């Protein structure tokens, strides 16, 4: 029994060495809406993809806001900015060995916002389940591009969506 356990642990620990990994750089166009405000913002992010098998990968994303938007309907004027976003999610690739691929994602997102106005700043951090769909095209074995839609946050009070253009580099 101990030999099987040790062999299993050794095999599991070698998975990262055998699995394929790649890095993506993304431009995220986000849309934020709650009971009081609506705004859009842009973020730049980097995502690490760790391929478990042909169809599944585990992914980690970190991004920062690069564009603040005026909040609709606020007096005095206010701006909403994304301070950072962090995601951990699983990705299912429908056609992983083809140049064109369709994929779905499911995971956890955490987003830190700041609302700035003449009256001061208010920060908020929200977390929640996210899901999405996308399509990818591989130009070569090492380079690709993808478009994705993701519902990043969706609860009773807050809704945040993201449209993503990503560039992937395999190593």
Per-residue pLDDT at 9: 41
140 belongs to a structural domain:
yes
Q: What backbone torsions phi and psi does residue 6 show, to the nearest 5 degrees?
A: -65, -40
Q: Buried b / exposed e across 66-81, counting CB within 10 Å, b at 16+?
A: eebbebeebeeebbbb
Per-residue pLDDT at 69: 73
52 belongs to a structural domain:
yes
35 belongs to a structural domain:
yes
Q: How many domains does the chain have?
A: 1
Structure-token pair, residue 30: 């986000």
Between 169 and 15, the higher pLDDT residue: 169
7 belongs to a structural domain:
no
44 belongs to a structural domain:
yes
13 belongs to a structural domain:
no
Distance from C-alpha of 152 to C-alpha of 128, rounded to nearest angstrom: 7
**Which CATH number fits the domain that encloses residue 125?**
2.40.160.20
9 belongs to a structural domain:
no
Task: Determine contact, residues 57/31, Cβ cutoff 8 Å.
Answer: no
Whole domain around residue 86: which residue ranges?
Answer: 19-170
Confidence of residue 74 (pLDDT cuts 50, 70, 90): low
Between 76 and 32, the higher pLDDT residue: 32
Convert the pLDDT of each residue in 91-113 to its tens digit: 999 988 889 999 999 999 999 98
Per-residue pLDDT at 120: 81
pTM attached to this predicted model:
0.81
124 belongs to a structural domain:
yes
Convert the pLDDT of each residue in 113-163 to its tens digit: 888 877 788 888 889 999 999 999 999 988 999 999 999 988 878 899 999
């Amino acid at each position: 029994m101990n030999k099987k356990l040790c062999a299993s642990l050794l095999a599991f620990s070698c998975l990262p060495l055998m699995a394929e990994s790649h890095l993506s750089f993304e431009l995220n166009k986000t849309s934020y809406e709650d009971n009081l405000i609506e705004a859009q913002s842009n973020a730049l992010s980097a995502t690490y993809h760790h391929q478990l098998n042909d169809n599944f990968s585990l992914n980690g994303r970190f991004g920062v806001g690069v564009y603040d938007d005026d909040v609709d309907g606020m007096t005095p004027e206010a701006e909403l900015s994304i301070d950072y976003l962090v995601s951990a999610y699983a990705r299912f690739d429908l056609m992983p060995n083809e140049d064109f691929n369709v994929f779905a994602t499911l995971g956890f997102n955490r987003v830190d916002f700041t609302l700035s106005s003449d009256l001061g700043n208010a920060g908020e951090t929200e977390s929640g389940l996210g899901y999405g769909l996308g399509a990818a095209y591989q130009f070569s074995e090492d380079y690709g591009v993808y478009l994705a839609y993701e519902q990043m946050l969706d609860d009773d009070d807050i809704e945040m969506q993201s449209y993503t253009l990503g560039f992937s580099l395999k190593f």
